[in-house]
Every structure is written in structure tokens, then in C-alpha cells.
């Protein structure tokens, strides 16, 4: 049950993320409140994984740690070949920018910037040359089908369009993993479907995607769904769609 | 370089989104910087005026002036006698003979007189003086020459006129070689001089000038011995309640030059003692330009402290206002900060972003303040008739001050922004 990558079928696959005995607890006054209790999960390159679970199961905390926004209390977190559990704030920031692409439920675009600039922001913090960033931002905007809206501001776009900008932004630095937090939670069914199709395409192109969701419909599209409960893995369901 | 400009461009956009708020916030800086500029301009103008006046008087000069004592006026006016007072020729001689530090002694007698050339008449100030007068007073010979020792020796009826007299009395004629009629006698013009300090020296002109009507145009210099022999020393005035009154004044002014500035004050004391012995009444006044210089510096210092405090308080208040608004901006943009942090912004990047916004805000305020500040001295000059000087240094200082305020008052909000927890910030609505 806890053997990850069951669909591997004996073929050795590259590990992208490995967490070992990961614990996280919050201190409230004198009380230690454990949220994650010794998680061991391995994510492989090109995998599409859903993390599910009820509220309070620890999935948001796990996502924050995977996204290097938070640090584990104990345990190891290997991202690529690097142990990121001991890095300082500056190093974590660089990792976030380079190796992780975020897609949020509420899109989280910067409202005073137009579409190209929103995509460029991610590259700006990696000190990439401006001309190169601009060119790449335009390419990415075209790739998510917004080539004709480059100068629009986020509030001039529909929710689905905004989420597509967010996807373009997440791809800007060609990250190791894409973390999506309820990417369709704020969208109508049709737009949500479009976004999911886009994520499927990205995965087919080889991107490793980890998506946190309540939605069974979303989870069904992934290779593997990890269900958390009380900071532990309750069960893992492999959908048999894993590619060799 | 392009990174900084793009940073400022982004900051400018954020400020533009809240343009009313940004504009109102900068007002404090605008007024603060404006008052700094105005303060420096007025202070600089006043100090330059004082310095020019003092340079005109000469920092190594001691000036003795004849003053009409007030007590004899009351006593003698009813008796209709001739009042006798003031500096005398023997004073000048005594100084020259007994004070070794008195390098140059220039006696001067001034008197307003009507001067006539052909049919044109003006009232000019006739200055009886010596050939070495230009050694102490900055005048420049334009055409011809100044008075000479020979003129003095032979009591020549010659005169040197200044450019004002040339313009009003001669207009298009060449004055040199012409005769000017002064008090019934003719004087040949031998030179034209320009008072280098023209226009700033009104204040230290002799008291006759200010007490008379302002119809005096220019100065005519004649040899002192000539003046003595032709004019005499008595001046009769007819009119007023007292009827006829006369005054006997030998010299209006004696200027003494000492070799160095540190000899000024000791010499002044010696002069005061000498005059005290030889004058029964206090009918003279000792003016030491060096002391005026010190007084001017003192006045300027007080002035600068007062205006400087006003500027400092207004800049402080402006800075606090900016800090306040930046804190509001930071809390309003918590979400944005979270997004940027998630996208790889380091704390330093957030600090730089908000700091650049604050500095930009204060620099804009500073530039506006400079414009306003440059207008205030112009208004002061026009309305208050006070000279003002806007220096490049003042502009650079103001620019530095506004940038400094941006930096000082921007640091706290920027650090506050950078130290927010990215997870919390992302959840912030």
C-alpha cells in the first residue's frame, strides 16, 4: 500500500521528489499540534499525482512544504538531488523560483501588471535578461492561447483565462515540478475542464504535476491519488494511467 | 542600469494606481523641500548681499562718519548760530601722523549740489576727496583718469563724473573735456568712473543722501582742496520753523585702511581714544566692516536655524506621512507580496521593491518641491525686494534629502513587507 510507483512495473524511473519521515507540527501556546506524522512519499519524473483528503488532513501543509514555502519540523525533503529541508530563506526563495511552478485556486496574478509582465515576474527574480524574458513570456502566453491578450490586465480576463496565465507563469522557469492547489476550485465546469485538459497536455509533454484537490473528477485524471488523513497516508490509488 | 530603470518603472506603475493617495502623501515632502530651497536661497542672498556690502566697504577698512549730535540741534536751533560739528581735517592728519597702522587715510566730504551742462540740470552728490580714494573704494576708471595729486596741489577745477551723471547730464555728448557748472563755478571733466558696487551700496551712502529728497543722480568727484576753497565749510539752510540755520562741517567721512584684518580692532580702539580726546561731543560714528561681517554671519546663522528647523519639522512630518502610507500600501498588497515570494522573490527583492517605491515617491516630491522652492525666492525677490540666490548646491542637497527621507522612512515598511510569512500572505484577502 505504501509502495509508491507501483505502476513502475520494474522499470527504473527518475525520482524528482522524495520525502522521508516528514513531520510538521505547529506550536500553539504550550501545545504541540502535529499536522504531518512521518510521511514517506516519492514522486517520479513525469508523474501526475493528486493529493486528496478532508480539511485538516495536512494536505495544505504538505503542499507548502513541497513548495518550499514552509520547512518541515523533521525529516528529509529531497528535491531533485538537493536536500532542501535545511536551506535558509534565501536559498528556498531561489529554489521556489527555479524548481517549482505554482498554480493557485484563486489564480494569484498581480493586478497592476499586464499578462506578459505577470509571466515575466517569475523570470525577473531569476535575473534573466529582459529581452529573453519578454520573448519567452510572449511564447508562453501564445502557448496557453492568450497571444492576443498580451497587454490585458488580469481583471479584464475571465477566470479560465486568468488561470491559463498562471499556468504560463508556472512554466516560465521550466521548473522540476508544478504544484497546483485546487486549480479548478474557482472555475465553472467548462473552464475547469479546459484547465484540466491543459494540465493533461503538460503532463504528456513530460511535466511532473502534483495537484491538491477535493474533486474526484480531477483526481481521476491523475496517475495516482494519495489520500491523507490526520497527517498520514490513508491510501494510495493508482489509476493505471502511468506511462512507462 | 536597465534593471534599476525597470524597477522604477514598475514602482511608478504601483504609485500611479493610487495617484491621489501618492500625490497627497508627497505634499509633505514637497513643502519640506520647497522650504529648504527657499531657506537656502534667501539665506544665501542675504549673506551675499552682506558680503558684497562689506567687501565694498573693505574688510581692512575702518570708516569714521560725521554724525549730527542731537543735543546741539535743540540748543542751537533757537539761537540761529552756526552749528559746528563733525570730523575735521586735523583728525585726518592726526591719524596719518600718529597711527602707524593707518596705511591709507582718505578724507571725504559730500554735499548734494546742482550741476549744469548747457541747459540740462541735475542734482548730484559732489564728493570732495583725494587722489588715492580709489585705493579704498572699488571704483573703476572707464574713460580718462581719476583725480591726481597735482589736481589737489593746484586746487584745480576738475571733476570726475560717474556713469549715472554721464547718462543724465551729457546723454549723447562726450563729457571728457567739457565743463560742468557746479554751484556757479565751472569744472572740467577729466574722467568717467563706474562704481563697481553700484546698486548694492545704497545703505552705506552718507546720511545726506537719505535725508535729502531722492532727486540725487550720481556722483561728481572733485579735489578736496578745491572743494574746501570754493564751497567753504558752512552750509546755510533757509526755511523751516527755525528760519535761517547754518552748519559747519569739515569732513563727512574718513576712511582708514590697515594692513591686515587682525589690526582692524586694535586700530579701532586707538582711533576711538584719539577721537574721544579731541571731540567734546559724540559727533562721529565708527563703522568697522569686519564687525559687520561677523554680525551678518551671526544673523545668517540664526536665520538658518529658524528656517532650517521649519524645514526639518516639515520633512519629518512628511517622512512619517510617507511611512504611514507605505505601511498601508504594504498591508493592502500583502497578497501580492505572497505571490512574489512564491515566485522566487527573496526578502531582499521585496525590500528593494518597496524601498524603490518609497524613494521614487519622495524623489517626485523632492522634484516638485524644488520647482515650488525655486518659485518662492523669485516671489520674495519681487515682492519683498530681498535678493535671493538659488545655488546648485541647494538643489543637490534637496535631492539628497528627499532620497534620504525615502530611504529612512521606507526601510521599516519595506522590512515589514519582506518579513511577512509567505503562506499567510498568500491566504490574505
pLDDT number for residue B209: 41
Residues B160 and B85 in one domain: yes
Domain annotation covers residue A31: yes
Q: Which of B258, B282, B306 is the last residue of a domain?
A: B282
Task: Domain of residue B396: give its range.
Answer: 2-53+295-427
pLDDT number for residue B189: 92
Residues B149 and B6 in one domain: no
User: Cβ separation of A93 and B17 shorter than 8 Å?
Assistant: no
Domain annotation covers residue B61: no
Question: ipTM score here?
Answer: 0.91
Residues B74 and B46 in one domain: no
Distance, in Å, from the CA atom of B321 to the CA atom of B312, rounded to the nearest integer, reads: 14
Domain annotation covers residue A95: yes
User: Is the CB of residue B87 less than 8 Å from the CB of residue B254?
Assistant: yes
Facing residue for A96 by CB, picked from B13, B344, B348: B344
pLDDT number for residue B202: 40
Domain annotation covers residue A243: no
pLDDT number for residue B237: 63
Residues B105 and B196 in one domain: yes
Pairing of strands A48-52, A100-103: unpaired
Facing residue for B345 by CB, picked from A93, A98, A111: A93
Mean pLDDT for chain B? 83
Domain annotation covers residue A55: yes
Residues B331 and B406 in one domain: yes
The cell for B181 is 557748472
Divide the 244 residues of chain A into consecutive groups of 10 and give the mean pLDDT of each group: 44 84 90 90 94 90 93 92 90 94 94 91 90 94 92 93 95 94 92 94 94 90 92 86 46
Residues B364 and B400 in one domain: yes
User: Cβ separation of A110 and B346 shorter than 8 Å?
Assistant: no
Q: What angle do CA B93, B94, B98 make, to 5 degrees?
A: 125
State which residues of chain B have pLDDT below 70: 1-2, 71-81, 196-214, 236-245
Residue pLDDT, tens place only, B232-285: 777 766 655 556 667 788 888 888 888 888 888 888 888 888 888 888 888 888
- The domain tally of chain B equals 2
For chain B, the straight-line distance linking the first and the last C-alpha, in angstroms and rounded, comes to: 35
| Residue A158 exposed, middle or buried by CB count within 10 Å (0-12, 13-18, 19+) | exposed
Give the distance, in angstroms, between the CA of residue B16 and the centroid of all CA atoms in the same chain.
Answer: 43
Q: What are the backbone angles phi and psi of residue A50, rounded to the nearest 5°?
A: -105, 140
Q: Which of B241, B257, B282 is the last residue of a domain?
A: B282
Which residues lie below 8 Å from residue B112, measured CB to CB, with a gap of 6+? B123, B124, B125, B126, B208, B209, B212, B216
Domain annotation covers residue A173: yes
Residues B393 and B299 in one domain: yes
Domain annotation covers residue A134: yes
Domain annotation covers residue B35: yes
pLDDT number for residue B206: 41
Distance, in Å, from the CA atom of B429 to the CA atom of B422, rounded to the nearest integer, reads: 13
Residues B49 and B165 in one domain: no
User: Is the CB of residue B187 less than 8 Å from the CB of residue B158?
Assistant: yes
pLDDT number for residue A188: 93
Domain annotation covers residue B423: yes
Domain annotation covers residue A60: yes
Q: Point out which residues pair with A224 in neighbouring strands.
A: A49, A238
Judging contacts by C-beta atoms under 8 Å, the chain A residues touching residue B349 are: 93, 125
CATH number at residue A129: 3.40.50.300
User: Cβ separation of A69 and B423 shorter than 8 Å?
Assistant: yes
Residue of A35, A72, A93 for testing the chain B interface, max B β-carbons within 10 Å: A93
Judging contacts by C-beta atoms under 8 Å, the chain B residues touching residue A121 are: 340, 343
| Residue B23 exposed, middle or buried by CB count within 10 Å (0-12, 13-18, 19+) | middle
Domain annotation covers residue B63: no
The cell for B210 is 537719505
Residues B229 and B338 in one domain: no
Domain annotation covers residue B116: yes
Domain annotation covers residue B410: yes
Q: What angle do CA B392, B398, B403 make, to 5 degrees?
A: 130
- The domain tally of chain A equals 1
pLDDT number for residue B335: 94
Domain annotation covers residue A232: yes
Task: Domain of residue A176: give its range.
Answer: 6-238
**DSSP alpha helices (H): ranges in B2-103?**
2-17, 19-57, 70-77, 89-98
Residues B109 and B49 in one domain: no
Based on C-alpha coordinates, what's the Rg of chain A?
18
Domain annotation covers residue B340: yes
User: Cβ separation of B344 and A90 shorter than 8 Å?
Assistant: no
Residues B276 and B306 in one domain: no
Residues B218 and B361 in one domain: no
Amino acid at each position: 500500500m505504501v509502495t509508491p510507483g507501483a505502476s513502475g512495473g520494474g522499470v527504473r524511473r527518475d525520482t524528482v521528489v522524495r520525502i522521508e519521515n516528514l513531520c510538521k507540527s505547529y506550536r500553539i501556546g504550550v501545545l504541540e499540534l502535529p499536522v504531518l506524522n512521518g510521511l514517506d512519499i516519492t514522486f517520479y519524473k513525469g508523474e501526475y499525482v493528486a493529493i486528496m483528503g478532508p480539511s485538516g488532513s495536512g494536505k495544505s501543509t504538505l503542499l507548502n512544504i513541497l513548495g518550499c514555502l514552509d520547512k518541515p519540523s523533521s525529516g528529509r525533503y529531497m528535491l531533485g538531488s538537493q536536500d532542501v529541508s535545511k536551506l535558509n530563506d534565501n536559498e528556498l526563495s531561489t529554489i521556489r523560483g527555479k524548481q517549482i511552478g505554482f498554480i493557485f485556486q484563486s489564480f494569484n496574478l498581480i493586478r497592476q501588471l499586464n499578462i506578459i509582465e505577470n509571466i515575466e515576474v517569475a523570470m525577473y527574480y531569476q535575473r534573466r535578461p529582459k529581452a529573453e524574458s519578454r520573448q519567452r513570456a510572449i511564447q508562453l502566453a501564445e502557448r496557453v492561447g492568450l497571444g492576443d491578450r498580451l497587454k490585458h490586465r488580469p481583471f479584464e480576463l475571465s477566470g479560465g483565462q486568468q488561470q491559463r496565465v498562471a499556468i504560463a507563469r508556472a512554466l516560465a522557469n521550466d521548473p522540476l515540478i508544478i504544484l497546483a492547489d485546487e486549480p479548478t476550485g474557482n472555475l465553472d465546469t467548462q473552464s475547469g475542464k479546459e484547465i484540466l485538459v491543459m494540465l493533461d497536455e503538460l503532463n504528456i509533454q513530460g511535466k511532473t504535476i502534483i495537484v491538491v484537490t477535493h474533486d474526484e473528477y480531477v483526481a481521476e485524471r491523475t496517475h495516482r491519488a494519495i489520500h491523507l488523513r490526520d497527517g498520514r497516508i490513508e491510501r494510495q490509488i493508482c489509476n493505471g494511467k502511468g506511462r512507462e | 542600469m536597465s534593471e534599476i530603470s525597470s524597477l522604477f518603472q514598475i514602482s511608478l506603475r504601483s504609485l500611479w494606481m493610487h495617484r491621489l493617495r501618492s500625490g497627497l502623501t508627497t505634499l509633505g515632502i514637497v513643502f519640506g523641500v520647497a522650504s529648504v530651497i527657499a531657506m537656502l536661497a534667501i539665506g544665501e542672498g542675504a549673506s551675499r548681499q552682506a558680503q558684497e556690502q562689506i567687501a565694498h566697504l573693505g574688510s581692512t577698512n575702518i570708516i569714521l562718519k560725521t554724525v549730527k549730535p542731537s543735543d546741539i540741534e535743540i540748543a542751537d536751533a533757537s539761537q540761529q548760530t552756526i552749528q559746528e560739528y563733525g570730523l575735521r581735517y586735523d583728525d585726518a592728519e592726526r591719524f596719518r601722523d600718529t597711527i602707524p597702522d593707518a596705511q591709507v587715510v582718505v578724507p571725504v566730504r559730500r554735499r548734494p549740489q546742482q550741476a549744469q551742462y548747457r541747459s540740462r540740470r541735475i542734482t548730484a552728490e559732489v564728493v570732495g576727496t583725494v587722489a588715492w580714494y580709489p585705493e579704498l573704494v572699488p571704483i573703476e576708471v572707464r574713460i580718462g583718469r581719476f583725480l591726481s595729486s597735482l589736481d589737489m596741489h593746484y586746487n584745480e577745477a576738475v571733476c570726475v563724473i560717474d556713469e549715472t551723471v554721464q547718462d543724465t547730464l551729457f546723454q549723447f555728448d562726450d563729457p571728457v573735456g567739457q565743463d560742468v557748472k557746479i554751484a556757479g563755478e565751472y569744472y572740467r571733466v577729466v574722467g568717467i568712473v563706474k562704481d563697481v558696487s553700484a546698486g548694492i551700496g545704497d545703505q552705506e551712502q552718507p546720511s545726506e543722501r537719505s535725508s535729502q529728497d531722492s532727486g540725487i543722480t550720481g556722483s561728481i568727484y572733485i579735489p578736496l582742496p578745491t572743494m574746501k576753497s570754493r564751497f567753504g565749510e558752512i552750509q546755510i539752510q533757509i526755511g523751516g520753523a527755525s528760519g535761517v540755520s547754518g552748519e559747519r562741517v569739515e569732513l563727512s567721512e574718513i576712511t582708514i585702511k590697515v594692513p591686515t584684518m587682525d589690526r582692524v580692532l586694535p586700530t579701532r580702539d586707538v582711533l576711538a581714544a584719539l577721537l574721544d580726546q579731541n571731540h567734546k561731543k559724540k559727533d562721529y560714528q565708527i563703522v568697522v566692516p569686519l564687525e559687520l561681517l561677523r554680525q551678518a554671519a551671526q544673523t545668517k546663522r540664526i536665520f538658518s536655524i529658524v528656517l532650517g528647523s521649519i524645514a526639518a519639522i516639515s520633512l519629518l512630518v512628511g517622512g512619517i506621512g510617507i511611512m504611514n502610507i507605505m505601511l498601508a500600501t504594504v498591508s493592502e498588497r500583502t497578497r501580492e507580496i505572497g505571490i512574489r515570494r512564491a515566485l522566487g522573490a527573496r526578502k531582499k527583492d521585496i525590500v528593494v521593491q518597496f524601498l524603490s517605491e518609497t524613494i521614487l515617491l519622495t524623489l517626485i516630491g523632492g522634484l516638485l518641491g524644488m520647482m515650488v522652492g525655486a518659485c518662492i525666492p523669485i516671489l520674495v525677490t519681487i515682492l519683498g525686494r530681498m535678493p535671493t540666490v538659488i545655488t546648485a548646491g541647494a538643489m543637490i542637497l534637496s535631492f539628497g534629502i528627499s532620497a534620504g527621507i525615502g530611504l529612512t522612512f521606507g526601510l521599516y515598511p519595506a522590512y515589514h513587507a519582506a518579513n511577512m510569512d509567505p503562506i499567510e500572505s498568500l491566504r490574505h484577502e
